[in-house]
Structure 1
Amino acid sequence: MWMSKKWIVIWLLGFMQTSFAQHKTQLHFEHLSKEHGFIAGNRTYMYLDHDGLMWLSARDGLNSFDGQKIKAYPELANKKITSTFFEDDKKDLWFSTAESIYCYQRKRGVFESFQFKSPGKAPVTKKYTAFHFHKNGDLWVKIEQSRGAYLYGFNVKSKKFRPLFPLEGNLHYAIVDQLGEVSHIVSTQLVGQWDLQITAIKTGKRQQKAFTNYANGTEVLNNLNTWTNSAYPEGDSIIWAAVNVGLGVYYPKRDTGWIINGYTDKVKITDQGIGETWAIVPLTTRYLLVSSEEAGLLVFDKQSMKFVDQFLVDRNTQFGLTSNSLQELYLDRLHTLWVSQKDRGIAYTSLSNQKFERIPELENKSVTAVYEDKKKKIWASTLDSGFYLLNSNRELLLQDTKFKNSAYAMVSTLPEFTAFVESSQGHLWANYRNSLLFWNANEKKFHFKLAYFLGQYEVINHIGHSRSQKLLIAIQNTIDELTFKGDSFARRPFLNLKPFQLQNITTFYQDAQGYYFIADNYHRLLIIQAKKGQLKKVLDLDNVGECYAFYEAQNKIWIATSKGLYSLDQHAISAQQKSKLQSAPNLPRETFYTVIPDAKGYLWLSGNNGLIRYHIQQKNWDRFSQVDGLQGPEFTPRVWLKASNGEIWLGGPNGLNVFHPDSIKNSQSFPPLMIERIKVNDLDYKADQNILRLQKIPKLRHQENTLSFDFLAIEYNDPAAIQLKYRLRGQDDTWVETANPGFVRFSKLPPGAYTLEVISTNSDGIWMPEQRAKQLSFYIQTPWWRTWWFYALCIATITATAYGIFTYRLQQALKIERIRVRISSDLHDDVGTILSGLAMQSEILELTAPEPSKPKLQRISELSRSAMSRMRDTVWAIDARKDKLENLIDRMREHAEETLTPKDILLDLQVDQLAMHKNVSSPIRQALYLIYKEAITNIAKHSTADKVSVKLQKLGNQGLEMTIHDNGQVKIKDYKTTGSGLANMRMRAEQIGATFQVDTTNGFLISIQLPRLS
């Protein structure tokens, strides 16, 4: 995740050797103090752990810092922490307090303490001091006891103490050999006259030295009282010591050393120098960082044995040190420097983020102009500190706060130059208010003469050149040409702009095609063409904003304005076509003061919101801020320079930046990501382990389906520059962008498996690869009524129920069928026999009966046979053996033969697309037959037809249509009959859900439509 150590070392070596040695480095400090919830103790221990979390000892115990907020641990409240922090192979954190050893178990997020206990005695509660974590898993800790201090090895796995040997002093440093074994221990803050004590592990031999006998390598001042605050051993060959009177250097093998107490060389101890020093950390193989009691932060060059840089309190900036009294130093693996400031909290800065150099001599000075002359010297003017002259190495050659007035001797007013310009003869001129000042190289002064005065109310808004290198100036609504001769100049009109009604020209530019771009009155852009001595308006654009700078490339004119970066198509302009300003794609709409190209296709845009690097082809951009080393949050309009060596100089209210575009590279490291809070149904999630280490949430119940997460990227130097994206896989694969820190809430999630993924940018705005996303998985259980086994149980239950109902109904149907068969058989055999016998007896009696009685017997016989016919219909209808459609058809044919044949009426019966074997329910079968029977009977009795067509056909998917049509003539009676045949047929049709229609247009037609046959 981090930049390789090799790259960092190579970069820092080059950066420090060119920067520190030349006193050019500027650091951007952020701060932690009691306003942020942090109160430093007498000694502050600092450590960056594996997860990127910063641990800080404090006056009231232990704090951690994630770049956004301070967290205090109540378990360590009012505990005095006596060591730095160590991580074991489980990434658990070990440290000591005054009364015990502590372990912070990351997985569980809890603290556990351990105390040494002699056999048969109470635990030792005196001072514990841990200072080394051995490769065998032993934490080396010195414990003070009644008989003196003793060194123990505490094994973090077995939790047992192993005695080593007695050890004096308060602070200790292990010297480790190439095999990872401790060869020596360096002790400081000893009781007595010694400043350092070196103990050899194998032999137990002790070497003690005091710095009182050494100053400039000469034995003097033997009675000087010195003590050592801390030490930094570089192996067993050299030990650097932070001493109360300077920086001590000691060579154990030669038993020689001295104190360095000055900025330029080794000096006598009695000289006033850097004073007391507190801590030492290695910056590179060549440089040391040293904190001091009064001299701030110092940089020491081991090669020259000199202090080469110093950082002190600067009241003019909020991003500097707030105290010159510094104590502990810590340089973490990401090369962020942490500085403990006495009574002022902690200041921290990223050494690898300082991309842009600031000129120290112009620090916190408002720069009004910057210019490179033909000798490659850089001229810079300030608002209230005069002008500065630097060479190509950025070294100060001259600073002056006054200029010479030929009429009135020296003028005390500070010259606030707004522009520099050089004549063809090589003379330098500077624009000051409404006059031009001449630079006298011999006197090293700018001269003012009345002859250089332009006019009482005239102010030069802009100085530039035409394509023919004529020097042009914009004054109010005119553009004039300046010509120089020696120490004088002449001014004459260059363009006749009166026809264009200009008011106040702020900037102008002439492109390669000869078109003049003139910015007017802070909102207008006029483009004119000079052709055959005549000026012609080509384009007049309003509401452009104030134009500050122009750049021409790839047939486009790029324009930096107060409303953003625009471009104009030169082809459209030359073709006299209507051309519109185009906003630069993807760029924010903000004020840009410059548009400076580099060799790689980037445009550098300074403005009122830092500095932007924009790639023309790729249409992407990077923003840089004060964290990257810029002089301030904004720059000054028109104060820029692209030097002959390719460097870019940018001035602003707080100083002057200089950089080469090729040296500005985006970081490829990314901040650690952390999910620090989880809520389930808007209540804090109580995990069995530390939330920060959680990778998977155990199964959640189905009602625990509203989850929220707080997450952040741990960035200490510019957390506001970090952007985050998240997505919830299992719900949506779309990335959602948010700020740092981030928050997301998912409401009413359906059951299933999910994975929350989070990615971030680094401080340079580069997104980390998706495969490196921070992930947290969780699973929401399906409710029991939606589980597979519940579905299976339901299916089984429904199946069993349906089977039971089906079986029951089948048994009932069989039972009914048997009853119907029995009833039909009984009716046919018993009642039919009786009626048949009755009819026969009536007929027999009729033969011998007197004449008056014969009609009555005939009537009995007819009624008996009619009853027999009706009974046969009923028997047929209830007989379960006659339920198929083919049985209905057979019955219809049978009745037609009995009824129509004696009348010589022909029957045409047709069946179309009907399944003859399909069952028809008894009520439907009976109703259809009785309607048919009634119709056929009426035809036989009353119709003059000789043919009847009967058609049964399929209706829809499950229905049936029956039509009965004869070819007889229908006589419309002019009186109402008492017959009920049609009414009965209609009633029977309605009972089975069928429609009944009669048509007498062409014969007699009856139509029955039944939607469902079953």
Structure 2
Amino acid sequence: MIRGILITVITWCLSIFVVHGQKPLNLYQLPTDGISHVQITAIYQDSQGFLWFGTVNGLNRFDGYEYKVFKHKGGDRSSLSSNYVTCIAEDKNQQLWVGTKHGLNRFDRNSQEFTSYFPDKNNPKALPGKNIEVLFLDKEKNFWIGTWNGLCRYQEQNETFELFLHDPSDPNSVSGDKINSIIQDHLGRLWIGTNFSGVTVYDPETKFFERYLHENDDDKSLSGNTIISMYEDSFREIWIGTFQRGLNRFNEKEKRFIRYKPDGQSSSIATNSVYSIMENMDRKLIIGGMQGGMSVYNRKQDTFTNYDTKGRVNIGGTAASVLCHYTLKGGEILIATSNGGVSIYDNFPSQFELYSHDPKEPGSLSINFIKETFVDKDGNIWIGTEGGGLNLFDRNHKKFKTFTKREGHSNALQDNVINVIQQDALGNLLLGTAMTGLATFDTKKNFFRHVYACRSIETETSINAINDLSIEQPQLFWIATDNGLCLYNERDEDSKKYLENDIGKVEVLKRDYEGRIWAGTEKGLYLYDPQRDIFKKYPLEVNQQNEWVASLFEDRYNRLWVSFLNDKLALLDKEKQKLDFVGVDRLVNVTNIIEDQSGFLWITAKDGLFKYELLSGEPYAQLRRSYNENDGLITTKFNANTASITKDGLLIFGSDQGLTIFHPDSIKFNPNPPIIKITDFWVEKTNTNPEETGLVEEPIDQRTDIQLNHEQNSFSIEFAALNFIKPQKNQYQYRLEGFDSTWSQISNIRRASYHEVPSGNYVFKVRASNNDGVWQKEPTELKIFVSSVPLWQNRKLQAITSVVVFISLLVWLYSYWSREQRTKKPASLLEDVKHTLFTRNSKPKEDNSAQLDKQWLERFTKIVEQQLTSKDFGIDELCRELGTSRTQLYRKVKEITDLTVFELIKEIKLEKAAQLLQKTDESVSDISFQAGFKSLSHFSKVFQEKFGSSPSQFRQK
């Protein structure tokens, strides 16, 4: 018994150790502003790259920035059949299907309408049930629908459904009709999870069904019969999640199941109801469920590490529920939780190691505020802190050994604030403190010795605050203090040399490749003049208001980089004696500069950590990537001059939140260039389309070209890169070919605006990069045609050609008058137009059918004529009046008249205008309005095209 208790205690301690050693998952939430409801029930990424979120109150399309909402509208048969969305998928033709609690829907991207499917008792090939729970496209491109009244397969040819129903008398049938989930394994078999009836495995080749059920007397059977999730992992093992009965792993060879349930231990799974099973890029299984957050499976130890829905390690207690998940094409995982909304797990985990003080952990960092980091000749990492003394980091065990001030111990550290750490020729550490001057530390004997290295010449008082050290020769080094500089000889303390320079506080010292000493001070940059034995201010030909130097660094090309306090970073041209800000002018308040073993600069600044590629000429450096808290950094506010590098390439940075250590080669990035879509188009700041009616047959993201008249030559175009990992880091470049001479680059603004674009053909091109600077190779294009200004509106041409036009008009009028005398005008122009519309290219029909079409066309014409002056009347209202859908309307008009809906409406409007011109004395402007035209110029243009004369000339005839 004692042995058993001991084993239990050891196991518990090991589990606690494992939990403490785990890193948090890198999760961050997508925005929820604009979404129809925060409770997400389904997630899908379509073939075009858009995200679709199903909720309990509508369907949402997300482009990374904004949501477009689709909802059920009472009486509108082309809207979503129900607002409670359960599942979303595409078929082999990339048509989007949406399952709801009340019907199945197919979405038409062009018309933005839904076609709904419901059960029909009189049709054996209809959908078996209205409650749709799962949509699944198998490897053979068969589209499966799971309902709570049976399973079916969609037959595209005749838009019917092949049913697979439970038959109590037939063991070779699905085990139950309440279908919850479907997956396909590597052998092509379908695994069908049901409510109350276990799992059925269907082999499409043999047409054979195999059932797996829970059996009370068999602990190797399924743990429960209500299956709510299934997954085949990369090791080709099937995992099955149940409702309130835990997780199951299927052993294919033995045809048995291994069960996982919460058992009170921190290493067990956190939930009994498994809603979600997924796998990350490290091939680790992630389990989500009711009030259990997420459990990450350790395959070697057969244990779980539990996390809450914020990605934090969850040692015990309940957490919010994971409702569903979806893995994007780029490998990112989207997770919907009961907290509301969707969190994204980028699946490219950051390799930043973060170390901070933990009062419960004796081996943690002594204090979070880091003043200095230093790597000695043996590769040991030393950390100087603000109040926590000196720390030695044990890389193997991830532990810290601390040396702090101890009263009454002369050989101990006397100051807990360590500003600078160096190493002398004997291997001893040189420690610059804030209050007790210089100290040396014999690391082999653990012996500290304090030396008052500098003394003020004016006051004869000790200078205790030391900011930096630079070794001149063995046991001879420069000391930077708040009161200037001094040269200290370690072998002879009385040989201190004081410098009579009014240079103020010295922040940093740097010895360049030529052996010259540079001092960065509060009054500027100084260079040591050995001939005169003074530090001379280095003249800088630059308008630099703030001369306070914060840091100095010399790169592999022997160029000196200088950062100024609360200002920009610059490169020093030693020959021209000036600073050059070219290439890195976006960096402000630089605190650290260091070069890695691959020749990249790593710079900490105001907005985070930046990786630059060093270049030999101008530009001197090119930004490759930036990092902030979303990338796993504990903070973006790093303390000045706390960067160092180990022999094997580890980079170390200190902040007031702890220590950051990483290897540049271990940081993974997002390699997937984004898809970019044009999401909206404005004309003169009004969200409209260039059609005269304000309506189009397809949305802007489905179009490849657009036509504008000359009055619509000021417009804006909105676009979105469909990269959902930190979309705020996306970059854009755009150009209107034929108008712009160069590409414009923007980041947060996703809009291009153009004003008074001349008539002509243009191509708008836009491309984007993802959060890691990976650019789309081929830009997205939209062809734009701006028509010419009509002659009668071009004032310059009017002035030049007025005489010619007048003479030509007289000749034309005489010719037209002569022709009119020889021809007979039709009795009724309206009847002539209708007759032409009805007979042109129409198919032969029975007399009754033709009569019905004629009546329908007259009804169509009457409705349009009644609403010509209505601003709010559009295609949706027309469909409602006719009792039809958009798709049916387009099809009917095309079949009868061989015209589009918009062409037919334009014909009716023109005929109405012709009648008014013949029968009334109203002005042309008033008639244009009454006929439904918004623009007089546009009315005149299309009227001329239709009747061969202007409205005024037509009236005169």
TM-score bracket, normalised by the shorter chain, equals 0.5 to 0.7
| Whole-Å separation in 2 of the counterparts to 1:176 and 1:778 | 48
Partner AA of 1:91 in structure 2 = Q
1:669 deviates by: 3.5
> Equivalent residue for 2:623?
621
1:345-494 matches, cutoff 5 A: 345-352=341-348, 354=349, 356-359=351-354, 365-380=368-383, 389-392=392-395, 395-398=397-400, 400=402, 404-407=406-409, 415=416, 417-427=418-428, 433-435=434-436, 458-466=464-472, 470-480=476-486
Classify the secondary structure of the residue corresponding to 1:334: coil
| Whole-Å separation in 1 of the counterparts to 2:605 and 2:113 | 49
Cα deviation, 1:217-258, whole Å, max 9, x if unaligned, reads xx59x9998965422134996322345576432214313332
Structure 1 residue 107 corresponds to structure 2 residue 102: no
Partner AA of 1:160 in structure 2 = T
1:95 deviates by: 2.6
Structure 1 residues 731 and 398 mapped into 2: Cα distance closer, same or farther (>3 Å)?
closer
Partner AA of 2:481 in structure 1 = I
| Whole-Å separation in 1 of the counterparts to 2:257 and 2:38 | 33
Cα deviation, 1:171-216, whole Å, max 9, x if unaligned, reads 22222445xxx4232415x327x5x5545554544332449889xx
1:688 deviates by: 0.5
> Equivalent residue for 1:1005?
none
Partner AA of 2:771 in structure 1 = S
Classify the secondary structure of the residue corresponding to 1:720: helix
1:50-449 matches, cutoff 5 A: 50-75=47-72, 79=82, 81=84, 83-119=86-122, 126-134=130-138, 138-144=142-148, 149-156=149-156, 158-166=158-166, 167=174, 168=176, 169-177=178-186, 182-187=188-193, 190-191=195-196, 196-200=199-203, 202=206, 204-210=208-214, 229-234=228-233, 238-242=237-241, 244=244, 247-260=247-260, 274-276=270-272, 277-284=274-281, 286-293=283-290, 296-307=293-304, 310=307, 313=310, 325-352=321-348, 354=349, 356-359=351-354, 365-380=368-383, 389-392=392-395, 395-398=397-400, 400=402, 404-407=406-409, 415=416, 417-427=418-428, 433-435=434-436
Classify the secondary structure of the residue corresponding to 2:538: strand
| Whole-Å separation in 1 of the counterparts to 2:434 and 2:179 | 65
- Give ranges in structure 1 of 5+ residues lacking alignment: 1-19, 317-321, 573-577, 806-1014
1:396 deviates by: 0.8
1:640 deviates by: 0.9
| Whole-Å separation in 2 of the counterparts to 1:804 and 1:556 | 82
| Whole-Å separation in 2 of the counterparts to 1:401 and 1:72 | 61
Cα deviation, 1:701-723, whole Å, max 9, x if unaligned, reads 44443332222222322323223
Structure 1 residue 694 corresponds to structure 2 residue 703: yes
Query: What root-mean-square deviation, in Å, do the aligned CA atoms of Structure 1 and Structure 2 show?
Result: 4.7
Classify the secondary structure of the residue corresponding to 1:644: coil
1:281 deviates by: 0.8
Cα deviation, 1:981-1013, whole Å, max 9, x if unaligned, reads xxxxxxxxxxxxxxxxxxxxxxxxxxxxxxxxx
1:765 deviates by: 3.6
> Equivalent residue for 2:38?
40
Structure 1 residues 495 and 336 mapped into 2: Cα distance closer, same or farther (>3 Å)?
farther
Cα deviation, 1:419-455, whole Å, max 9, x if unaligned, reads 4444545455655542467779799xx8888889999
TM-score normalized with structure 1 length? 0.63
Contact 1:99 1:124 in 2 (8 A): no
Contact 1:139 1:156 in 2 (8 A): no
Structure 1 residues 466 and 449 mapped into 2: Cα distance closer, same or farther (>3 Å)?
closer
Structure 1 residue 550 corresponds to structure 2 residue 553: yes
> Equivalent residue for 2:580?
582
Match of 1:753 among 743, 753, 761: 761
Which stretch of structure 1 is more off in the superposition, 458-467 or 233-242? 233-242
Structure 1 residues 326 and 119 mapped into 2: Cα distance closer, same or farther (>3 Å)?
closer
Number of equivalent positions: 739
| Whole-Å separation in 2 of the counterparts to 1:236 and 1:767 | 34
Structure 1 residues 657 and 592 mapped into 2: Cα distance closer, same or farther (>3 Å)?
same
Structure 1 residues 625 and 757 mapped into 2: Cα distance closer, same or farther (>3 Å)?
same
Classify the secondary structure of the residue corresponding to 1:764: coil
- Give ranges in structure 2 of 5+ residues lacking alignment: 1-17, 73-78, 167-173, 359-366, 455-460, 690-694, 815-957
Structure 1 residues 588 and 708 mapped into 2: Cα distance closer, same or farther (>3 Å)?
closer
1:518 deviates by: 1.4
| Whole-Å separation in 1 of the counterparts to 2:165 and 2:415 | 70
Structure 1 residue 715 corresponds to structure 2 residue 719: no
1:802-841 matches, cutoff 5 A: none
1:304 deviates by: 4.8
> Equivalent residue for 1:856?
none
| Whole-Å separation in 2 of the counterparts to 1:298 and 1:679 | 47
Cα deviation, 1:591-612, whole Å, max 9, x if unaligned, reads 2122222345432221222223
Structure 1 residue 726 corresponds to structure 2 residue 719: no
1:761-776 matches, cutoff 5 A: 761-765=769-773, 767-769=775-777, 772-776=778-782
| Whole-Å separation in 2 of the counterparts to 1:274 and 1:409 | 52
1:26 deviates by: 5.3
Cα deviation, 1:568-619, whole Å, max 9, x if unaligned, reads 344x3xxxxx722333445325221222223454322212222233323252
Structure 1 residues 761 and 744 mapped into 2: Cα distance closer, same or farther (>3 Å)?
same
Contact 1:297 1:324 in 2 (8 A): no
Structure 1 residues 81 and 452 mapped into 2: Cα distance closer, same or farther (>3 Å)?
farther
Partner AA of 2:103 in structure 1 = S
> Equivalent residue for 1:597?
595
Structure 1 residue 564 corresponds to structure 2 residue 568: yes
> Equivalent residue for 1:894?
none
1:124 deviates by: 6.4
Classify the secondary structure of the residue corresponding to 1:560: strand
> Equivalent residue for 2:946?
none
| Whole-Å separation in 2 of the counterparts to 1:730 and 1:271 | 64
Contact 1:557 1:567 in 2 (8 A): yes
> Equivalent residue for 1:810?
none
Cα deviation, 1:88-108, whole Å, max 9, x if unaligned, reads 344321131112111222233
Contact 1:730 1:753 in 2 (8 A): yes
Cα deviation, 1:443-491, whole Å, max 9, x if unaligned, reads 9xx8888889999872222234336574543222244567889xxxx96
Structure 1 residues 341 and 569 mapped into 2: Cα distance closer, same or farther (>3 Å)?
same
Cα deviation, 1:91-138, whole Å, max 9, x if unaligned, reads 321131112111222233222211232326998664122331245654
Higher CA-based Rg: 1
| Whole-Å separation in 2 of the counterparts to 1:419 and 1:325 | 49
Cα deviation, 1:622-650, whole Å, max 9, x if unaligned, reads 34022444333332211111111122222
Partner AA of 2:781 in structure 1 = Q
Classify the secondary structure of the residue corresponding to 1:692: helix
Cα deviation, 1:542-571, whole Å, max 9, x if unaligned, reads 84332312215435322233332333344x
Contact 1:246 1:274 in 2 (8 A): no
| Whole-Å separation in 1 of the counterparts to 2:306 and 2:127 | 49
Contact 2:368 2:657 in 1 (8 A): yes
Classify the secondary structure of the residue corresponding to 1:651: strand
Structure 1 residues 767 and 569 mapped into 2: Cα distance closer, same or farther (>3 Å)?
same
Cα deviation, 1:915-946, whole Å, max 9, x if unaligned, reads xxxxxxxxxxxxxxxxxxxxxxxxxxxxxxxx
Contact 1:23 1:308 in 2 (8 A): no
Structure 1 residues 656 and 294 mapped into 2: Cα distance closer, same or farther (>3 Å)?
farther
